Structure 1
Amino acid sequence: MKKILKRVFSLRIEETVAVLFFAPMVYFTSKAYYFFSVKGNVPARIQGDMQRIWVTVGVLLLFLLIVKIKPNWRIVRDWLPFGFCIAIYTNLHDTVHFVNAADIHHLLIKIDQWMFGVQPCVWAEQFISPTLTDIFILAYANYFVLNICVAVVLYFQKRYTEFRYVMVTTIVCYYIGYFLFIIFPAAPPRLALKAYFTVTLHGQLMEPIKHAIELSAQDSRGAFPSLHCAVSFISMFFGWRYLRWMFWLMLPMVIMLVLSTIYLRHHYVIDLIAGLVLAI
């Protein structure tokens, strides 16, 4: 018992939070799998979620073994919690409705209508073109670079203290975001406002990426708040603080990402505002 308590209290904050979220992830993913199994049709994404659990467990056991045998391999302990964070995010993202089915997107739609007099995603239809769609798909996909680029550079510069500030803040932001998804489940505009769109979004070169993003979140309830914006704003903050040149490099990318969330119908404007508040 003493050994177990010693290990628990030796965990870093991002490791502790991962442990706390892992059990609910397993429970709700299993619940979703059972629900669809009874119906005789388990969606591919839920099957993927179950497979991800086993992979995560395997990686976790390997992680514990490495830490025990090679305690000086700090790179494993520095980076794996981020991987766990993304795995947990993906599964919880897919199973929000099994925790809370009380959608709030109708309220988000009303707030956007009150602020602008129109639905920004519907209003943006007038600018749609295959070329612009490709540009915004690429801008949206850049999120996967923006969320770790500052941390990667700091790590290669061996600025480990600054790296930890960035990584812990980013990971904690993700987990708070997951919790808010569960409290405030909301479908994105591309689902909730589907009846109001008169123009279909089609890209050219980037269309497969768009299709993959939409397929992975076809029943998404993770619109509020926008973690794309929250994590990107955090990256910009730390870029300004530690790597000023990177801030200026990221600025146009983040602006394009924010615009892409509206153009591609992934978020309401109030989601972006909530993402900024979360980042702060």
Structure 2
Amino acid sequence: MTGTVATRTWQDHTWFGFLLVGLAFALWLPEARQRRVRRWWFIYVAGIFVYTLLRAYADEAGAPVRVAYPISFDRWLFFGTDPTLWLQHRFFDPRDIGLLDYLAVATHWSFFVAPHALAVGVFVLQRRHFPRFALLTVGTMWLGLILFFVVPTAPPWFASEVGELAGVRRIMDYVGGSIHGSAYSSLYAALGEPNSVAAMPSIHMAVTFAMYLWGRRHLPRFAPLLLAYCAVMAVSLVYLGEHYVADLLAGMACAVAAWLAAVRFAPELIEPPRLPADTGSRRLS
């Protein structure tokens, strides 16, 4: 399941993605019956994979694509100034891709690594809390998925292309093209094209803020670093033309709701110690 997310296999053959989920569930069923924390890896991976499958169809559910309302909200919030236009006019030059552009794109792309790296760390170092982390991450994404179906919303770069926010550029295209054009196009085709109007809320911001909420409770020493990561992610998303501030706020709200649910409903499992085989034999004898 994880491998097919970065390819077009599940897009070209829709049935294949759902078949993988069914096969994975059948293979994991014996493990799911055990009271071991690692069974939550199935919930984590399958939950994110099914989210990815359904996200591709969110713009085909019949709801009209919205363009104007986040522009109006951002301008109201910033007293008539559009933050994406303001940032790009001052710091972006399409003729001279600079360090800031690369750092912003790197921050954006770090989203595809950072949450899963933290998941591995939690599983290794704080295993009994892993069910809570899995529910927090998957729950945050699924709350966002609901909004994708209800209010499919165009991001700033898309709004610019249809004439609603003239002057905004998709900086990621410039940076990706300067690094390796064909590789970037293939990666975007796999991760972005399935739904270009899944902007409300920002899942990048939602999951990043969920990591911070997790850190406040379970990794207090790293909480300031995670909060700084949230701030850098927020500025990068707006600067790159990927999201409005409205999208960021909605994503943070999804993270808070998922965190409250995870704290209340996710179990903290402590696996019983396993007895050595010879000890068990002596007890039986």
TM-score tier, shorter chain, comes to 0.7 to 0.9
The C-alpha deviation readout for 1:14-47, integer Å capped at 9, x for no partner, is xxxxxxxxxxxxxxxxxxxxxxxxxxxxxx96x6
Residues 269, 78 of structure 1: alpha-carbon distance in 2 compared, 3 angstrom cutoff: same
Greater shift, 147-156 or 71-80, is seen at 71-80
Q: Quick check: 1:137–1:210 contact (8 Å CA) kept in 2? A: no
Structure 2: distance between partners of 1:69 and 1:163? 16
Structure 1: distance between partners of 2:150 and 2:249? 17
Residue 96 of structure 1 aligns with which residue?
58
1:1-280 to structure 2, matched below 5 A, reads: 48-51=10-13, 53-68=15-30, 71-72=33-34, 74=36, 77-116=39-78, 117-125=80-88, 126-128=90-92, 129-160=97-128, 162-194=129-161, 195=163, 196-197=166-167, 201=171, 202-203=174-175, 204-205=178-179, 211=185, 214-215=188-189, 216-218=191-193, 219-280=195-256
SS of structure 2 residue aligned to 1:101: coil
SS of structure 2 residue aligned to 1:244: coil
Q: Quick check: 1:134–1:205 contact (8 Å CA) kept in 2? A: no
Shift of 1:276: 1.5
Structure 2: distance between partners of 1:259 and 1:206? 25
Task: Report sequence identity in percent.
Answer: 26
The C-alpha deviation readout for 1:89-145, integer Å capped at 9, x for no partner, is 223222222203312221111111222212221221120143211111110111123
The letter for the 2-side match of 1:135 is L
Residues 212, 239 of structure 1: alpha-carbon distance in 2 compared, 3 angstrom cutoff: farther
Give the structure, 1 or 2, with the largest relative contact order (CA under 8 Å, sep 6 or more): 2
Structure 2: distance between partners of 1:213 and 1:250? 27
SS of structure 2 residue aligned to 1:245: coil
Shift of 1:80: 2.1
Residues 211, 58 of structure 1: alpha-carbon distance in 2 compared, 3 angstrom cutoff: closer
Shift of 1:158: 4.7
The letter for the 2-side match of 1:153 is G
The letter for the 2-side match of 1:63 is F
Q: Quick check: 1:258–1:272 contact (8 Å CA) kept in 2? A: yes
Greater helix fraction, Structure 1 or Structure 2? 1
Q: Quick check: 2:63–2:151 contact (8 Å CA) kept in 1? A: no
Residues 278, 209 of structure 1: alpha-carbon distance in 2 compared, 3 angstrom cutoff: farther
Greater shift, 172-181 or 238-247, is seen at 238-247
> Max radius of gyration: which structure?
2
Residue 22 of structure 1 aligns with which residue?
none
Structure 1: distance between partners of 2:223 and 2:117? 11
The C-alpha deviation readout for 1:175-223, integer Å capped at 9, x for no partner, is 1110111111101111112341266632244877765565432451211
Q: Quick check: 2:17–2:53 contact (8 Å CA) kept in 1? A: no
Structure 1: distance between partners of 2:60 and 2:237? 26
Unaligned runs of 5+ in 2: 1-6, 257-285
The letter for the 2-side match of 1:127 is F
Q: Quick check: 1:226–1:272 contact (8 Å CA) kept in 2? A: yes
SS of structure 1 residue aligned to 2:221: helix
Q: Quick check: 2:157–2:170 contact (8 Å CA) kept in 1? A: no
Q: Quick check: 1:150–1:243 contact (8 Å CA) kept in 2? A: no
> How many aligned positions are there?
235
